[in-house]
Each structure stands twice: as structure tokens, then as C-alpha cells.
Amino acid sequence: MDRVVVEHVRATPEELQPGETGWEDALRWAEVPLLIEVGGLAALVVLIFIFPAPGLAKAAAVGIAVAALLGKLAARQWLARRQLKFHRSTASGSQASTYVIDHQGLAIGNMYAESRTYWSAMRGVIRYPNRYVFLFTPAHNPVLPRRLLTPEQDAALQALIAGAGVTITDGPPPGVD
């Protein structure tokens, strides 16, 4: 098979999780504000435990630190779902896409938009148990759900990627990344 065509692609929120495995260098710096926040909260807790204070103040400091951390995690989940909602509310985002993978690269399109990414521009492909993540830029990593592929298409896709000289890396199981 010299070409794989997958129609009606609409990834689920779980399949759209970022494939951070291929962009460690770029994404590491995106977490610096969070590290500063967590470091500041940890310093607050340490200072309160070092200096004598009533038990209520210490409990409040620990409570604030835990609430801030849980709030940050909840906000991250909320933001991801909100972004997906806004993406799907646009004319192009609400349409299922067609993926065409051939010897040149990956083409994605629907009735409103079309784009092509050449193999030479890709950093690699991450093969997860439930999806393929094509590493183009840290902000643009097309996702192809594996549930839409037949076993023949899956094998042909892997052959096309390998034939193009692009590195395929196995990602962690679902829920680990």
C-alpha cells in the first residue's frame, strides 16, 4: 500500500493528550512558572513549620499549599476541555477530517481547510497504543486515532513512516504520559 486514507477522523479528548515525549527540551521551559509557584508554596510551608506559630496557622498554610496544587491540576484539565470545546465550535474544527498519508508525508483536510506536512519537516512519530502523534512543532502535533485504522492500514502506515526515514518511538500506555 503506497497510500493510507483515513476518513471521518474526530479524536476524543483522551486521544488529543499532548505527546510530550518528543519535545522534552522545548516543553521543559514551559513548566518554569509552575515550578516557581510550587517552590514558593513549599517555602511558605517550610517557613511556617520552622517558626513557632499556633497550630491553626500551620494547618492553614498546608491547606493553602494543597489547595493551590489541586487547583492548578483542576485548572489544567478544565483548560484542555475548554480549548477542545472552542476548537469544535469553529466551522473547520467541528468537521471530521480526512487523513492521507503517502510517501511525501501527511495531508489533513476537510471541507474548510487543508494542510500538508512533509516527512522531512517532522521530528518523529510517537506510536501510542491508542493513537499516532506526528511531531511537527511543539504547538502542532497532528493526532491519528488507531481505532480508525484497519490492521492493514496500521501496518502500511508504519511502513510508510519507516520508508521515509522518520523515527517511530513507542509511547507509554494510556494514562501514563
Query: What pTM, to 2 d.p., does this model score?
Result: 0.63
Q: What is the 3-state secondary structure (H, E, C) of 55-95?
A: HHHHHHHHHHHHHHHHHHHHHHHHHHHHHHHHHHHCCCCCC
Which helix (H) or strand (E) element contains residue 102? strand 97-102
- The mean pLDDT value of the chain amounts to 81
Closest CA to 15 of 128, 136, 131, 150: 131
Which helix (H) or strand (E) element contains residue 38? helix 32-50
Model pLDDT for residues 69-83, shown as the tens digit of each residue: 787 778 777 877 777
Confidence at residue 146, expressed as pLDDT on a 0 to 100 scale: 94
Instruction: Tell me the C-alpha distance between 92 and 157, whole Å.
Output: 25
What is the dotted CATH code of the domain comprising 3-20+95-170? 2.30.29.30
Give percent of the chain with pLDDT exceeding 90: 29
Residues paired with residue 168 on neighbouring β-strands, in sequence order: 125
Please check the confidence at residue 60 and state whether its pLDDT lies above 80. Answer: no
Model pLDDT for residues 92-151, shown as the tens digit of each residue: 667 888 999 999 999 999 888 899 999 999 989 999 999 999 988 877 888 999 999 999
Q: What is the largest CA-CA distance in the chain?
A: 72
